[in-house]
Amino acid sequence: MTAAARRVTPSAILNALPHAIVVLGPDDEIISANDAAEAFFGASMAHLQKKPLDRFVPFGSPLLSLPAKVRQAGAGLVEYRVDLSSPRLGQGQVVDIHAMPLPEDPQMVVLTLDRPSMADKIDRALTSRAAARSVTGLAAMLAHEIRNPLSGIRGAAQLIEPTLDEDDRALARLITAETDRIVKLVDRMEVFGDARPVQRAPVNIHTVLDHVERLAASGFASHLEIRKAYDPSLPPVNANHDQLIQVFLNLVKNAAEALSDQEGGIITLTTAFRPGMRVAAPGSPHKVSLPLEFCVKDNGPGVPEDLVPHLFEPFVTTKTNGTGLGLALVAKIVGDHGGVIEIDSNAGTTVRILMPAYEGSERVTP
């Protein structure tokens, strides 16, 4: 054994791991914890040690009964997607819990708390992308089977309107307005059926965001403060300029609607470079780098936690009169660009987009 190997202690190995690891005694008191566990619970080892686990975990959490089950079974158990959110730990503390008895003393239990990994987030993004594309066939059917009859209904309503008294005319105008609304919905769904390759070029993301900010500030977000935190050294993104405007205009409009009833509403647009983020491209053995991070943040009330994993699926919406197609279209566009999109609804809402940088010498699209 080399001198360097002898200097590596078990505690050093545990502290190097990104997962929170806690060792419990026979009475579920905390015996030991690694650095990641200290960060997760927001307390030092000196404060955690010899304290009961229930002092740091929400009342009634499945985690509290897990050690007893492990001791009774004499084997390891796993609980997936356990929500440990609390005023102490903060919101969005969803973890997978692995519990194992110590071989030397089965009354002692080792807990490992794993946060959802980037792989999980990417898997959700791919699932949402597939769900969006599943609307394609439905959109084609609607375009053929619904638009033509609606045109006849609208035409008939317009023809009979002049022959009716004023009260019945209002009903005819209602028929016309509702048929127009359904046609617009069908038109929006048809976008999902566009399978043509995206025409991409090097795009300056800050030009896109500034354009969206001007549109928002002069219209639907005129009552809100819009802040910008850009990385000026960011390379161009390999994307379609017009589709990026559509993506961020949709996201900023959603943020503005979330802040409609709130004083002091703030929307923040950020860009950053995140080296090291690589994912496997569908149908390719090669990994694609996604170093460019673009975020739209608001300080609104957030999104119900149970809806967050499904927000990019078609027909899922938090709006009373929403269609649930806006974010699904955003997910499709980002996915068509080879990017990943995710939502964090802890302390407001943050929509984060990771996209590939442009690699070439062509002129950047302004």
Q: Are residues 156 and 99 in the same domain?
A: no
Q: Are residues 171 and 216 in the same domain?
A: no
- Does 156 fall in a domain? yes
Start-to-end CA distance of the chain, whole Å, equals 59
The pLDDT tens digits of the residues spanning 308-348 come to 666 766 555 555 454 556 687 888 888 888 888 888 877 78
Residue 196, pLDDT > 70, answer no
Residue 360 backbone dihedrals phi, psi, to 5 degrees = 170, -170
- Does 363 fall in a domain? no
Which DSSP category does 178 fall into? H
Q: Are residues 289 and 309 in the same domain?
A: yes
Total tally of structural domains belonging to the chain: 3
Residue 27, pLDDT > 80, answer yes
Which of 295-299, 337-341, 345-349, 355-359 shows the highest mean pLDDT?
Answer: 295-299
- Does 366 fall in a domain? no
* Residue 256 binned pLDDT confidence (cut-offs 50, 70, 90): very high
- Does 40 fall in a domain? yes
CB atoms within 10 A of CB 312: 28
Return left, alpha or beta for 17; rule: phi > 0 is left, psi -120 to 50 is alpha, else beta.
Answer: beta
Asked if 220 and 259 touch (Cβ cutoff 8 Å), the reply is no
Segment among 206-215, 279-288, 292-301 with least mean pLDDT: 279-288
Q: What is the pLDDT of residue 244?
A: 92
Q: Are residues 40 and 186 in the same domain?
A: no
In DSSP terms, 354 is beta-bridged to 293, 340
Segment among 117-131, 272-286, 302-316 with least mean pLDDT: 117-131
Q: Are residues 291 and 186 in the same domain?
A: no
What rounded mean pLDDT belongs to the chain? 79
Q: What is the pLDDT of residue 298?
A: 93
Q: Are residues 96 and 49 in the same domain?
A: yes
Domain extent for 51: 3-115
**Measured distance CA(38)–CA(31) in Å, rounded:** 13
Tell me the mean pLDDT in the region 21-41. Answer: 90
- Closest alpha carbon to 131 in 53, 205, 192, 222: 192
Q: Which of 138, 159, 193 is the last residue of a domain?
A: 193
Q: How far is CA 256 from the centre of its chain?
A: 17
**Measured distance CA(365)–CA(245) in Å, rounded:** 13
Segment among 110-124, 192-206, 262-276 with least mean pLDDT: 110-124
**CATH number, position 106:** 3.30.450.20
Q: What is the pLDDT of residue 285?
A: 47
Three-state SS at 342 = strand
* Residue 297 binned pLDDT confidence (cut-offs 50, 70, 90): very high
Which of 34-48, 77-91, 319-333, 347-361 shows the highest mean pLDDT?
Answer: 34-48
Say which residues have a Cβ less than 8 Å from residue 105's Cβ, sequence separation at least 6.
Answer: none
Segment among 96-105, 146-155, 173-182, 188-197 with least mean pLDDT: 188-197
Q: What is the pLDDT of residue 204?
A: 95
Say which residues have a Cβ less than 8 Å from residue 140's Cβ, sequence separation at least 6.
Answer: 190, 193
Tell me the mean pLDDT in the region 243-265. Answer: 89
In DSSP terms, 350 is beta-bridged to 297, 344
Say which residues have a Cβ less than 8 Å from residue 47's Cβ, sequence separation at least 6.
Answer: none
**CATH number, position 298:** 3.30.565.10
Residue 168, pLDDT > 90, answer no
Q: Are residues 348 and 206 in the same domain?
A: yes
- Does 302 fall in a domain? yes
- Does 361 fall in a domain? no
Strands (E), the chain: 20-24, 30-33, 77-83, 94-101, 109-114, 201-203, 225-229, 237-239, 266-273, 278-280, 287-289, 292-298, 340-344, 349-355
Looking at per-residue pLDDT, the higher value among 106 and 287 belongs to 106
Q: What is the pLDDT of residue 345?
A: 78
Is the Cα dihedral 216, 217, 221, 225 positive or negative?
A: positive
Say which residues have a Cβ less than 8 Å from residue 58's Cβ, sequence separation at least 6.
Answer: 84, 85, 86, 89
Residue 263, both tokens: 């004083």
- In the block, residue with structure tokens 């660009």: 337
Q: Are residues 219 and 93 in the same domain?
A: no
The pLDDT tens digits of the residues spanning 82-101 come to 888 777 777 667 888 889 99
The pLDDT tens digits of the residues spanning 219-239 come to 889 999 999 999 999 999 989
Q: Are residues 157 and 289 in the same domain?
A: no
Q: Which of 99, 115, 131 is the last residue of a domain?
A: 115
- Does 362 fall in a domain? no
Residue 288, pLDDT > 70, answer no
Amino acid present at 216? A
The pLDDT tens digits of the residues spanning 120-155 come to 555 555 555 555 555 555 555 556 567 677 888 888
Tell me the mean pLDDT in the region 55-60. Answer: 85
* Residue 283 binned pLDDT confidence (cut-offs 50, 70, 90): very low
- Does 364 fall in a domain? no
Q: Are residues 164 and 229 in the same domain?
A: no
Q: What is the pLDDT of residue 278?
A: 53
* Residue 294 binned pLDDT confidence (cut-offs 50, 70, 90): very high
* Residue 192 binned pLDDT confidence (cut-offs 50, 70, 90): low
- In the block, residue with structure tokens 């608001």: 298
Q: Are residues 339 and 256 in the same domain?
A: yes
- In the block, residue with structure tokens 């190995």: 13
Q: Are residues 10 and 88 in the same domain?
A: yes
Q: Which of 115, 131, 163 is the last residue of a domain?
A: 115
